Structure 1
Amino acid sequence: MTQIATERALWDVTSGPDKIQQYMADPDAFLAPYGMSDEEKALMKEKNVKALADQGHSHMLLMLFFVAVSGGFSALPEYLGALNGPAQ
């Protein structure tokens, strides 16, 4: 696990509308420079916040990321459901 790289990517995606658009347009290209594992990249692309949280990633960063790539704070109930879902 490359926790620092993954959390940096989570933060960078949420750093502004242009970054969100870049990520949404081509997640693979956006994540390429971060040195993340293939598993972490896949979990981010799947928005699998439960698995990322279980790996020890920041819940705050995960919430900001999920909301940013899911259309805004109206996605918060979906995030909470995903986070509190069954263990992966």
Structure 2
Amino acid sequence: MSVHAVEKVFWEFGNKPARIDEFRRDPEAYLGRYNLTPEERAMVRNVDLKALAEHGVSTLLTIMVWPLLKGADEMPFDYLVHMNDGKLPDMGMTGFKAIGLKGYIRFRQLRAALRRALGRGGPARAGA
């Protein structure tokens, strides 16, 4: 397994975002250019943040690429949710502040999902 190869994919996405469109059209063909294991291909294809971090991939690269792949509406809170086993970290908030923040995040997620479903705003997801 090569962390370097996975990081190269993400670096090239950030360096030339037009490559993301090519990746979306045919993820397997795109990733075939890189010396990746099947597990690494799946991590990249699914943007599995937790697995990528555990594999040793720089979280600076994943946070750079996340909005390019997922859209700005899913940033930054969805990134935190994915990195925290599906839960939003409490960030020291309690009571109404925590409830309000979580409600706001859910609203943005719903809005982003509706936009994707209607074909407006935000990039399409790979494999979707």
TM-score by length of 2: 0.61
Tell me how far apart the structure 2 counterparts of residues 7 and 73 of structure 1 sit (CA, whole Å). Answer: 24
* Cα displacement string for residues 16-70 of structure 1 (whole angstroms, at most 9, x for unaligned residues): 3311211122111111111111100001111101011011110011111222100
11-20 vs 36-45, which moves further: 11-20
Aligned position for 2:5: 5
1:46-57 equivalences under 5 Å are: 46-57=46-57
Tell me how far apart the structure 2 counterparts of residues 48 and 23 of structure 1 sit (CA, whole Å). Answer: 16
Question: Which structure 2 segments of 5+ residues have no match?
Answer: 87-128
Tell me how far apart the structure 1 counterparts of residues 58 and 42 of structure 2 sit (CA, whole Å). Answer: 17
Aligned position for 2:92: none
Query: What's the secondary structure of 2:32's corresponding residue?
Result: helix
Tell me how far apart the structure 2 counterparts of residues 73 and 15 of structure 1 sit (CA, whole Å). Answer: 21
Contact 1:13-1:23 at 8 Å conserved across structures: no
Number of paired residues? 86
Tell me how far apart the structure 2 counterparts of residues 11 and 2 of structure 1 sit (CA, whole Å). Answer: 14
Tell me how far apart the structure 2 counterparts of residues 80 and 13 of structure 1 sit (CA, whole Å). Answer: 21
Question: Which structure 1 segments of 5+ residues have no match?
Answer: none
Tell me how far apart the structure 2 counterparts of residues 15 and 24 of structure 1 sit (CA, whole Å). Answer: 16
Bigger helix fraction: 1
AA paired with 1:50? Answer: K
Tell me how far apart the structure 2 counterparts of residues 12 and 73 of structure 1 sit (CA, whole Å). Answer: 22
Aligned position for 1:17: 17
Aligned position for 2:101: none
Alignment RMSD:
1.6
Query: What's the secondary structure of 1:78's corresponding residue?
Result: helix
1:1-88 equivalences under 5 Å are: 1-72=1-72, 74-85=74-85
